[in-house]
Amino acid sequence: LGNANNTFYSPGVLNQTTQFRVVIQNGTCPEIYSSVSTITVNPTPAIIDIPNQDVCIGDVVTFGQSFSTGFDYEWSSNGGYSSILPQATITFTNLGTEVYTYRITDNNNPTACYAEDTFTIIVNPLPQANVIASTSICEGDIIAIGGAPVSGSAPTWTSSPAGFSSNNWNPN
């Protein structure tokens, strides 16, 4: 386990319960054996990976997973959100970007192992549906009925009675 000047041994990352002991020899003296030390490796809780995503203001989204006995749940965000429920149902009321952290702690073992997931939510504004005010024109006249394009949005125009459709922002 190294040379005589080493006082500590680090076995690296353990993924299973492992037993260790050391044998020491000093010159011509007989070997001395330590007692056995058992390092118990407890599993890390499984956690759902929540992807980064875009939502619209006013959206209500539920994140997380089902409750399991013996586990603690903790939610937090840089915007002040917090919860201790296994699932978080969030109503997005502020525009912008918020980073959320979801932690599950396993209280079924003495080490209280935990897993954590961090994800980013971007809250976007609702698009504006712009149309001109109701007006009168003469038969055969052409009139532009829409408005300026809204970044990230796509229009679909229809009419009543049926017969008109367009995907242009300001059709005529």
HEC sequence for the chain? CCCCCCCCCCCCCCCCCEEECCEECCCCCCCEECCCEEECCCCCCCCCCCCCEEEECCCEEEEECCCCCCEEEEEEECCCCEECCCEEEEECCCCEEEEEEEEEEECCCCCCCEEEEEEEEEEECCCCCCCCCCCCCCCCCCCCCCCCCCCCCCCCEECCCCCCEECCCCCC
Can you give the pLDDT at residue 157?
87
| Longest CA span, the chain | 115
Average the pLDDT over 85-99 and give the result: 96
Q: What is the pLDDT of residues 148-162, one digit of tens each?
A: 777 777 888 888 898
Mean pLDDT lowest among 3-7, 73-77, 80-84: 3-7
Mean pLDDT value across the chain: 89
Instruction: State CA 23 to chain mean position distance.
Output: 48
Q: What is the pLDDT of residues 37-70, one digit of tens each?
A: 999 888 889 999 999 999 999 999 999 999 999 9
- Scan for tokens 């549906």, then name that residue: 129
Can you give the pLDDT at residue 64?
95
State if pTM tops 0.75.
no
Whether 101 has a pLDDT exceeding 90, the answer reads yes
